Amino acid sequence: MESGFIESKPAQQSGLRLCVLASGSAGNCSVLVAHGPVETAFWLIDAGLSMKRTRRLLSDVGLADQIPRGIILTHLDDDHANPSVLDGFGDEVPVFLHRRHLGRAEREGRLFRRTEVFTSQIELGAGCSLSVRLAHHDIDGSATLRFLLERPEGCCELGYATDVGRPTSELIEHLAGVDVLAIESNYCPRMQEAANRPAQVKARVTGGSGHLSNQQCVRMVRAIAPQAHVVLLHLSHQCNTPELAAIEHLGSEYRLSVSSQHEPTPWIEAGLRPAGPARVKAETLFEV
Ligand SMILES: [Zn+2]
């Protein structure tokens, strides 16, 4: 089978579909599918699980023995970039990597034969393009992703933001008005405060170059104003619960899914809408 192409499933509509296979500090991996009448392809977003588990979960969600068209990395931390997966699908599957992460990839031996380097924009194929902004996360940052699928009959957009560090106006502008938004909601501040973990770990998580709290997440979501669906990513096992993360979104008009470390989310659909500017004017939000 040709790399990255899925056998035809005629009942499915054109558009983007996302399934978060697993998300959390023990490993992150999502599947993004671009469906079309002629061509259907899928990519992995992050590859932080073992190869064995990645294959098993792909099988569980209907992609047994399928090969991704590429692996897109937000950054190179172990919970997002497991070398066994980066090298596990064979030479023909490229790894997409932000230019900022190249040095670390070289130092750590994670550069593979096919590496596609991006900075702000890259064509993925199958009518799908990706624009990128770096978020504050540790030294090298984390790539936040805005996917655009364009077909003759319409378009749709999906945002993906994990390990974001802190809300910024640049990120909000970058992701404004997407149809589906996957975004981290890492910790409850009170649970973080009370957690039995070293002070420097707490400082790293909460210090503006670590992760978003539940409250920072919902502030960003409200400012981004996604059109249809929000998926919460990377909940801390020790310092959060799905209920605490979800309750911040009560009363919202979008549908909400909460990802898990242990089982995949359902498939989340972004159907095609008439082509045209989807971006709404993002609210101003001061960096914190
Ligand atoms: Zn992470």
In the prediction, which pLDDT does 207 show?
Answer: 87
Over range 267-287, report the average pLDDT: 69
In sequence order, the 6+-apart residues with CB closer than 8 A to the CB of 75 are 81, 98, 101, 137, 138, 140, 141, 142, 143, 163
The CA 37 to ligand 1 mean position distance, Å, reads: 35
The CA 23 to ligand 1 mean position distance, Å, reads: 8
Strands 121-125 and 41-45: unpaired
pLDDT of residue 7 exceeding 50:
no
User: How would residue 288 be classed by pLDDT, with cut points 50, 70 and 90?
Assistant: very low
The CA 124 to ligand 1 mean position distance, Å, reads: 24
pLDDT of residue 284 exceeding 70:
no
The CA 15 to ligand 1 mean position distance, Å, reads: 27
The CA 58 to ligand 1 mean position distance, Å, reads: 20
In sequence order, the 6+-apart residues with CB closer than 8 A to the CB of 22 are 28, 29, 48, 49, 53, 57, 259, 260, 261, 262, 263, 264
The CA 199 to ligand 1 mean position distance, Å, reads: 19
Torsion angle, CA of 8/10/14/19, rounded to 10 degrees?
-70
Neighbours of 205 (CB within 10 A): 21
Instruction: Order the strands of the 15-22 sheet from edge to edge.
Output: 115-118, 95-98, 71-72, 41-45, 29-35, 15-22, 268-271
pLDDT of residue 282 exceeding 80:
no
User: Higher pLDDT residue, 245 or 3?
Assistant: 245
Report pTM. 0.91
Q: How many Å apart are CA 172 and CA 199, to the nearest integer?
A: 30
Coil, strand, or helix at residue 38? coil
The CA 193 to ligand 1 mean position distance, Å, reads: 20
Mean pLDDT of the chain: 89
Taken in order of first residue, the domains within the chain and their CATH numbers are 15-271 (3.60.15.10)
The CA 141 to ligand 1 mean position distance, Å, reads: 11
In sequence order, the 6+-apart residues with CB closer than 8 A to the CB of 52 are none
Instruction: Order the strands of the 128-135 sheet from edge to edge.
Output: 121-125, 128-135, 142-151, 154-161, 180-184, 229-233, 255-258
Torsion angle, CA of 168/169/170/174, rounded to 10 degrees?
110
Q: Are 63 and 56 in contact (CB under 8 A)?
A: no
Paired tokens of 5: 């192409």
**Which residue, among 154, 231, 250, 117, has the nearest Cα to 185 in the 3D structure?**
231
The CA 138 to ligand 1 mean position distance, Å, reads: 11
In the prediction, which pLDDT does 278 show?
Answer: 54
The CA 153 to ligand 1 mean position distance, Å, reads: 36
In the prediction, which pLDDT does 285 show?
Answer: 53
Q: Each residue of 163-182: pLDDT tens digit?
A: 999 999 999 999 999 999 99
pLDDT of residue 144 exceeding 90:
yes
Neighbours of 109 (CB within 10 A): 8
User: Higher pLDDT residue, 42 or 208?
Assistant: 42
The CA 261 to ligand 1 mean position distance, Å, reads: 12
pLDDT of residue 9 exceeding 50:
no
The CA 163 to ligand 1 mean position distance, Å, reads: 6
Length of the chain: 288
Q: How many Å apart are CA 177 and CA 278, to the nearest integer?
A: 6
The CA 287 to ligand 1 mean position distance, Å, reads: 21
Measure Cα distances from 151 to 43, 106, 127 in Å.
18, 37, 7
The CA 211 to ligand 1 mean position distance, Å, reads: 8
The CA 181 to ligand 1 mean position distance, Å, reads: 17
Coil, strand, or helix at residue 148? strand
The CA 164 to ligand 1 mean position distance, Å, reads: 9
The CA 173 to ligand 1 mean position distance, Å, reads: 23
Q: Each residue of 72-88: pLDDT tens digit?
A: 999 999 999 998 888 88
In the prediction, which pLDDT does 280 show?
Answer: 52
In the prediction, which pLDDT does 153 show?
Answer: 85
pLDDT of residue 252 exceeding 70:
yes
The CA 223 to ligand 1 mean position distance, Å, reads: 23
The CA 8 to ligand 1 mean position distance, Å, reads: 34
Q: Each residue of 19-63: pLDDT tens digit?
A: 999 999 999 999 999 987 777 899 999 999 999 999 999 999 999
